[in-house]
Structure 1
Amino acid sequence: MTLDFDEGDELRDLRAAVADLAGRYGHRWFLEQARTGGTVQELWAEAGKAGFLGVNLPEEHGGGGGGMVELAVVLEELGAAGCPLLMMVVSPAICGTVIARYGTPEQRDRWIPGIADGTLTMAFAITEPDAGSNSHEITTTARRDGDEWVLSGQKIWISGVDVADAVLVVAKLADAGDSTLPGSGRRTLRPALFVVPTGAPGLSRTQIPMELVSPDNQFQLFLDDVRLPADALVGSPDAGIAQLFAGLNPERVMGAAYSLGTARLALDRAAAYARDRRVWGTPIGAHQGVSHPLAAAQVEVELARLMMLKAAWLIDHGLDAGTAANSAKYAAAEAVVHAVDAAVQTHGGSGLSQENGIGALVTASRFSRIAPVSREMVLNFVAQHDLQLPRSY
């Protein structure tokens, strides 16, 4: 078997086309939207019309027929231009993947074309206030009432509900009961996934104030006896865990792509400044105290990209991508934190000026270590699955 690390002309052309579109908007535009209460819907619509948002979705439903490799490339290039689209992590990557793979023909016809061209956006809701990273403890329930489903519960840290047409909600079936793994005392999650229109009676939201400079908002959701038709259930409740992870591994890959784009933006800005800024007649980039942190961050970016592309390739080929997807997310989060920190330090005081825009990346980069899965939970996964160490929780 030959390993080929050449992306090829198609991916290079895709990168160039996305970079061209994103370059017409850029980081200043992105920050202006964030600081004035604007949205990225103009760019979202253009990206959808160009076929970038649905590049991973089936052609027969309006998508590009590609996979996670192509979708990750799109988000990375958007981020490198300073205008990442966070809802790409959610709408086409998680929701689009799950519905395309497990939805009924009617569900695919109804939702996938709009997700693919950007005319429809779907949010994703799994995290709960009292469960956090322990998804086995979710309490949002779905019970049958005649031909309908009734959902009750709360969700938190749900992105983009204000721009979404529907939310893919993870609940547990009320009649499934709580089961535990033998000898462990730990609960097992038996999830079911439901498409909930954002205008459904009983569904309400509260925006969470954030220190994050971003036009994408976070919400807490309340489901108070939300009634849904029978066809709101996606796939089979008996295969819910497989359906859930079909979306979570792509989420981790896209989280990595988001981080890598931001890291590239920070390093590009810092390198340009270090080449031009002269102190005592010498460009500051000539000094190892400046150049080495930037170079080390660049190495981390390149390594993280390799793991991201590997994870995306595994997903696209139907192979186990759990370790690769988690490792990619971890590596990219570390890379962006180090890249942004080095970029701020390179700029000195101006690195925290609002005019420069680098300072706004500090919180965004730090958030990458927390979402969509914390670095600690990634390390737990690797310790248990790759090193075969005892589970600590």
Structure 2
Amino acid sequence: MHFDYTDDQVAIREGVAAVVSQFKDDYWRARDEDGKFPFEFHRAMAEGGWLGITMPEEFGGANLGVAEAAIMMNEIGRHGGGMASCSTVHINLFGPHPIVKHGAPEQKSRWLPRLVAGQDQVCFGVTEPNAGLDTTRIQTFARKVPGGYEVRGQKMWTTTAQVANKILLVTRTTPREECAKPTDGMTIFYTDLDRSKVDVQLIPKMGRKAVDSNATFYDDLFVPEEDRIGEEGRGFYYLLDSLNPERLLVASEAIGIGQDALARAARYAGERVVFGRTIGKNQAIQHPLAESWADLEAAWAMVMKGAWLYDNDRPCAPEANASKLLGARAGYHACERAIFTHGGVGYAKEYNVERLFREVMLTRLAPVSEQMILSFIGEKVLRLEKSY
């Protein structure tokens, strides 16, 4: 067992840092104010080849693993953009994974190169108002018609639907009550976001203003047969391929944001003089920051363990879920402590830590709640009776 990064992984950190560091605090503060999608950042990451880090080489990607993707997302999170910068890239990694794993060769060649090059932007329609984390209860329905399907229904928290031209859409094609199992009867499509048939309504929210979230309403959206991924009715099982990687990536992002906040707090503590001494000399300041360093490092070790297991085709669900739990909490507390360290100016936008705190909050809420993670570990690891 060793903890060294490979030469390629070191190069990933350095290469990503070279791009991300061009976008300073004032850029991300402006995006937090105006809510404009960070197109310049998205373009720079595409030109650097980073949008395709996990995509197959034959379609322009680098065909690297979750460990490399986690290192990349952690580095992005450490440079001041918060979840706005992370989500701009994250959405390209394992969201389209059903295409990579289950798409037909023609579909892969039609869709993946455009995603890698940043020519297409995709949003994801999964969550619904009356389903939440119980995906089996979605009601958006795709009705078979000549040449394809017509979709009616509603989705919530559809990220980047304001700017996307494509959507990965999860629907029912068989009513739940007619299926042998609740997880049967769901189908995934990747298709054009036809705004004449889809009403996109922005959801104002606490943070990550530059990467929009939306309620979307589908009124007989026609989806061609060739835009269905895999078999009809197998969509839920295709979704499972991307769940553990997504948890690992969200954890790596939260840790990166926490590391950014911690570095800002330590710098401020070493410079701020009160009562004739720097505040960093006081243990009441030192100890919480030191504790955050330990928490962030421990969470990162769990991310790397989970990523290693995934990349080596080993079961990793407990580690992926634990990574998301620990990483989000460590990042959140580091940002909170950074505000406390700054005192009153921590509440001011000028010092950026209040923005990082608002941004990192999302990682504790999505893509799965802490309570569901703990219930999963209780049942699957500790072998306790299912609690929900």
| TM-score when normalising by structure 2 | 0.95
Deviation for aligned residue 1:232 = 1.2
Tell me how far apart the structure 2 counterparts of residues 73 and 162 of structure 1 sit (CA, whole Å).
29
Contact in 1 for aligned 2:124/2:168 (Cα 8 Å):
yes
Deviation for aligned residue 1:199 = 2.3
Tell me how far apart the structure 2 counterparts of residues 178 and 73 of structure 1 sit (CA, whole Å).
44
Which residue is equivalent to 2:158?
158
Secondary structure of the equivalent of 2:99? helix
Deviations 1:93-135 (A, max 9, x none): 221x221111111111111112112222211121100111111
Q: For structure 1, which runs of at least 5 residues remain unmatched after alignment? A: 182-186
Contact in 2 for aligned 1:68/1:93 (Cα 8 Å):
no
C-alpha change, 1:245 and 1:53, in structure 2 (3 Å) is: same
Output the amino acid matched with 1:110. Answer: R
Which residue is equivalent to 1:99?
99
Does residue 315 of structure 2 align to residue 283 of structure 1? no
Contact in 1 for aligned 2:42/2:88 (Cα 8 Å):
no
C-alpha change, 1:85 and 1:367, in structure 2 (3 Å) is: closer
Does residue 113 of structure 2 align to residue 118 of structure 1? no
Deviations 1:3-57 (A, max 9, x none): 2211122111110111121111023211212212322111111111111111111
Please list, as runs of the form range in 1=range in 2, the aligned pairs for 1:46-125 lying within 5 A after superposition. 46-83=44-81, 84-95=85-96, 97-125=97-125
Does residue 303 of structure 2 align to residue 305 of structure 1? no
Please list, as runs of the form range in 1=range in 2, the aligned pairs for 1:174-253 lying within 5 A after superposition. 174=174, 177-179=177-179, 187-199=182-194, 201-253=196-248
Output the amino acid matched with 1:275. Answer: G
Deviations 1:285-308 (A, max 9, x none): 121111111111111111111121
Output the amino acid matched with 1:385. Answer: K
Deviation for aligned residue 1:269 = 0.3
Contact in 1 for aligned 2:152/2:220 (Cα 8 Å):
yes
Please list, as runs of the form range in 1=range in 2, the aligned pairs for 1:266-277 lying within 5 A after superposition. 266-277=261-272
Secondary structure of the equivalent of 1:64? coil
Tell me how far apart the structure 1 counterparts of residues 227 and 31 of structure 2 sit (CA, whole Å).
34
Tell me how far apart the structure 2 counterparts of residues 296 and 178 of structure 1 sit (CA, whole Å).
52
Please list, as runs of the form range in 1=range in 2, the aligned pairs for 1:257-272 lying within 5 A after superposition. 257-272=252-267
Contact in 2 for aligned 1:307/1:328 (Cα 8 Å):
yes
Output the amino acid matched with 1:38. Answer: K
Tell me how far apart the structure 1 counterparts of residues 232 and 56 of structure 2 sit (CA, whole Å).
24
Output the amino acid matched with 2:295. Answer: E
Question: Among 8, 11, 16, which residue is 1:10 paired with?
Answer: 8
Deviations 1:174-197 (A, max 9, x none): 36754466xxxxx44542111131
Secondary structure of the equivalent of 1:337? helix
Deviation for aligned residue 1:276 = 1.3
Output the amino acid matched with 2:28. Answer: F
Which residue is equivalent to 1:184?
none
Tell me how far apart the structure 2 counterparts of residues 168 and 257 of structure 1 sit (CA, whole Å).
24
C-alpha change, 1:259 and 1:189, in structure 2 (3 Å) is: farther
Deviation for aligned residue 1:362 = 2.1
Runs of 4+ residues deviating >3 angstroms = 175-181, 187-190
Secondary structure of the equivalent of 1:244? helix
Give the count of matched residue pairs.
Answer: 385
Secondary structure of the equivalent of 2:305? helix
C-alpha change, 1:20 and 1:359, in structure 2 (3 Å) is: same
Contact in 1 for aligned 2:299/2:323 (Cα 8 Å):
yes
Which residue is equivalent to 1:34?
32
Percent of paired sites with the same residue: 31
Answer with 8-17 or 263-272: which moved more: 8-17
Tell me how far apart the structure 1 counterparts of residues 4 and 321 of structure 2 sit (CA, whole Å).
24
